[in-house]
Structure 1
Amino acid sequence: MRRLAYGESLLSKVIDASDPAALTRYDIREDHFGTDAERRAYRFIRDYAAANGGAAPDYRTVVAEVAGFTYMPEVADSFEWLARKVKADASKRMQHAFFTSREFSENFSAMKPDEFAEWVRGKLAEIEAGTATRTKVGTDIKRDMAAFLDEYRKRKEGRSFKIWRSKFPTINREIGGYLSGNVYTWYGRSGRGKSVFTMEEAIEAAFQGASVLVWAMEMSRFEWMARAYSSISARRGVLSATIDGVDYEAGFENRALLAGKLTEEFERGFEAFLAQLNDMVPGTIIVRAVDDADFSSRRVRDLEADIIATGADVVVIDPYYYMTYEANTSRTTGGDAAETSKALRALAGRTQTVIHGITQAEEVRDGKDDEGNRELRPPTRAELKKSKAFLEDSALTIGIDTLDGIGVIQMNKGRNGGEGVTVEVVYLPNYGIVREMETGAEAAGQFNF
């Protein structure tokens, strides 16, 4: 008994319905067909339609022109069902060809196990993408109102998405906080505090109950934890400090923690502080740091696995350019960073996380005042280094600069507002103090900005 050929059935239905456009609607390609006769019939129908105003040829013409093609009259199955069957068969053939290929065997022998597994996953993903059946294009705003209302109610109840508030009130006022599903890019020149600012936002989210994942690819875990403990203890005001004549509620001194040189009294206080940390911070912060032995693979796929494993709501990537970039399929300068940026944007949407990423600004000549002192100047949009793609794919890009106990945050590109707005900051990270500067006459008298 002759096996039913779904390719011949699909092409026969195209002929009967005089609808060659169905092949385009369902993204049916020549390599989806399993026999040479089907592939030749496919080409003939497409060529005929192109020359005859989109019409299909008569079935007798196809049978006469294409040797070996069997016409199936009155096919009742839908185009969608037939397309699924044709692509399912194509997927099996392509997978079999891949697993039995010389390339598969050679790479199995030559590659490291993790590299080989990554390569296999990538190839299978390509096959899957190439044989997927699209049944619906986009959303009809007139017909899909019920889906919108369902999403609206989920958002109203806080079940669909989250807004994580910034530590800096001006950012909350201008953009409403950080919206899940979006990427936010922080940038500044080397040594100006990018890691500190994103750490502050990570801690702020944890104080709101978020699960936070930090990829600290420049910093050891001890250094990151010391900075975090200084910041958290400053929020609790565990110490009083007078700095340049101004009294502050401060935290444990970061440099003393790093050097192991707290006084005995402060050591006792620090141990008591750590004992209460679980009650202080409702959320969780998980740090993967540069000195972690198992932190060697840093692809977007690895980040997604970590997000799933930790249940992360907020992610910090410090910095972007120490990730393993995606393949540069465009073969253009900066294409690997651009592909990575797009993948991170898609990842944020897929996992409904907030992603804070760090990159560097171009190094430029610092402005000086009349006395030769460097002036605060956050970088502009044009100075975003490494890849302009991070500018395009981010909901907000944030330039920063710091100098002698003060700093400035500038919102340089905002999809939801805030563009050009600056935030003046008290910047004393050694004592855990990084906060928006108070406004008013009293604050203006304390700081000459």
Structure 2
Amino acid sequence: MPNYGELLLNKVVEQNDIAALKRYRVDRDHFATDAERDAYQYVLDYAAANRGQAPSYAVFVDETRIEYIPSVSDSYEWLTQRLKEHAAKRMWAESGAELERVFNEGSADEIETWFADKVTEIKRKVNTQTEPGVSVKKSGEGYLAELKSRREGKSFKVWRSSFPTINDEIGGYLSGNMYTWYGRSGRGKSVFTLVEALEAAMQGARVLIWSLEMSRFEVLSRLVSMLSARYGAKHKRIDGVDYETGFENKALLMGGVDDEILDEIEQFWARIDELVPGEINIRAVDDEDFYQRGVKQLEADILALQADVVVVDPFYYLDYERNTSKTAGGDAAATSKKIRHIAGYTKAVIHVITQADEVKDAENEDGDRELRPAKRAEIKKTKTVLEDAVNTFGIDSVDGLAAIELGKGRNGGEGTLVDVIYLPNYGVVKEAQIDASQFDF
């Protein structure tokens, strides 16, 4: 078998091209023998003392234990690729004792984590990329192909929000991005993201909901209420306004439905394929098989479903990644970055929910609580999910009204406020469009 380390070093010396070792990211660990490693270091030291020049062949052979191989015609790309392939195999072989220890002493999760970390470590060490990124000057053909593909809706998709103002401000939810929703406890974070999940399914999306707080029945009841409201299953007058509503969520949760309502709901379920063009899959906190709740399982579920839109409710109930940075909040930061990466390469839209710190409520002159969407500064423990998101949405709700404030807008919209009619018990959560004719005067 050819000795790729010796071939490479001979070519570098013959062509006086020390820079090739940097261009192709070759280091000591890639060489198989001590003789090669010493020769590699000698060449670098010589160049450092001689204005970047390589030693002559005579000096190189005399000062090292490397065989003289003149006129190496193989390319640097080919030689370094083979060198690093063998280095990777050697690194795996040298991991045997460590693997045995982890296998004997660790749990299944620890073994899985060890393998994942080892794969990442070895890939990083034997990366064959010659230069970071892609040259702009060489990107024209690929860019035009992607532009045409996006124009035809093939490689890129926008899922419209249920709230028109969000569409106007940010253009909807762009595939491959993460969006973060935040608010204080009990203000409607789950409701808003379920509204958006249902809206995407109505556009034909494959939707995955990771419900880490609500049971499957709770999620289904909310979706049934919202979907039936879309089709005007019921009508109700609330505070002087007539609404097309859905089945009452609280009655569904408590089982408080009479025979007539039960029959209507059965008919509703019989038409579900007709009513919802897309697909919604739920992983809920009470599912017996839902015990792996980390990003690896989330990634596997997205790939298995080929999900277009994903809801993680809430982020802080995930099994966090290991805090390898040893910094405060490093586990949450690592988890957020993994989710952002997953969104990018799966081309999914991922909605992530986190919680804002409790603050003193604002009140009007009559002592009634006023709407006050949460601010980015009120997120402390999981702040990184705001930084990694392309857009963030602070929410609040009170007395049949709600508000969404765009707290961050990479593509615009920051500071925009969306007024919302908020009647989730009746499945009605929609942007407010005031029509004076609806009111009694």
Smaller-chain TM-score range? over 0.9
Kindly, what percent of the aligned residue pairs are identical? 54
Query: 1:416: which partner in 2?
Result: 411
Distance 1:57 1:388, change over 3 A: farther
Are the equivalent residues in 2 in contact too, given 1:239–1:251 (CA < 8 A)? Answer: yes
- Whether 2:357 is the aligned partner of 1:362: answer yes
Question: 1:143 and 2:141 equivalent?
Answer: no
Equivalent residues, number: 440
Q: Which runs of 5+ in 1 are unaligned?
A: none
Shift of 1:33: 0.6
Which position in structure 2 is the counterpart of 1:37? 35
Aligned-partner SS, 2:420 = strand
Quote the Cα distance in structure 1 between the aligned partners of 2:418 and 2:215. Answer: 29
Three-state SS of the structure 2 residue aligned to 1:213 is strand
Q: Secondary structure at the match of 2:343?
A: helix
**Residue pair 1:20, 1:56 contacting (<8 A) in 2 also:** yes
Measured in 2, the distance between the counterparts of 1:390 and 1:4 equals 49
Task: Say whether the 8 Å CA contact 1:359–1:385 is kept in structure 2.
Answer: no
* 1: CA distance, partners of 2:48 / 2:162: 60
Q: Distance in 2 between matches of 1:390 and 1:43?
A: 44
Local SS of the residue matching 2:137: coil
AA partner of residue 410 (structure 1): E
Which one is further off, 120-129 or 151-160? 120-129
Q: Which moved more, 1:19-28 or 1:382-391?
A: 382-391
The letter for the 2-side match of 1:120 is F
The alpha-carbon distance between structure 1 residues 265 and 440, as it changes in their structure 2 partners (threshold 3 A), is closer
Given the superposition, is the C-alpha separation of residues 333 and 71 from structure 1 closer, same or farther in structure 2, using an over 3 Å criterion? farther
- Quote how far apart the aligned CAs of 1:412 are: 0.7
Output aligned runs, 1:77-116, within 5 Å.
77-98=74-95, 100-101=96-97, 103-116=98-111
Higher mean C-alpha displacement, 140-149 vs 303-312: 140-149
AA in 1 matched with 2:84: K
Letter in 1 for 2:87: A
Whether 2:182 is the aligned partner of 1:182: answer no
Deviation at 1:111, TM superposition (A): 2.7
Mapping of residues 124-135 of structure 1, within 5 Å: 124-135=119-130
**Quick check: 2:363–2:370 contact (8 Å CA) kept in 1?**
yes
Determine if the alignment matches structure 1 residue 385 to structure 2 residue 383: no
Contact 1:360 1:385 in 2 (8 A): no
Whole-Å Cα distance in 2 between the matches of residues 174 and 49 of structure 1? 57
Letter in 2 for 1:162: K
State yes or no: 1:213 paired with 2:211. no
Aligned amino acid, residue 151 of structure 1: E
Matches within 5 A, 1:196-345: 196-345=191-340
* SS of the residue 1:173 aligns to: helix
Distance 1:118 1:281 in 2: 39
1:352 pairs with 2:351: no
Q: Displacement of 1:404 after TM fit?
A: 1.0
Q: 1:46 aligns with which of 44, 47, 51?
A: 44
Root-mean-square deviation (CA, aligned residues, Å) is 1.6
Question: Do the aligned partners of 2:371 and 2:396 also contact (CA within 8 Å) in 1?
Answer: yes
| 1:117 alignment counterpart | 112
SS at match of 1:420: coil
Equivalent pair of 1:299/1:324 in contact (CA under 8 Å): yes
Aligned partner of residue 7 in structure 2, secondary structure: helix
- Partner of residue 70 from structure 1, selected from 44, 47, 67: 67
Question: In 2, distance between residues paired with 1:160 and 1:124?
Answer: 29
TM-score after normalising by structure 2: 0.96
Instruction: Note the C-alpha offset of 1:427.
Output: 0.5
Shift of 1:442: 5.8
Match of 1:408, SS? Answer: strand
**Larger CA deviation: 113-122 vs 83-92:** 113-122
Please tell me whether the aligned partners of residues 30 and 39 of structure 1 are also in contact (alpha carbons under 8 angstroms): yes
Which 10-residue stretch deviates more, 221-230 or 373-382? 373-382
Q: Which amino acid aligns with 2:163?
A: F
The answer to which of 131-140 and 27-36 deviates more is 131-140
Q: Which amino acid aligns with 1:332?
A: T
Asked if the contact 2:25/2:130 (under 8 Å) is kept, the reply is: no
Distance 1:232 1:105, change over 3 A: same
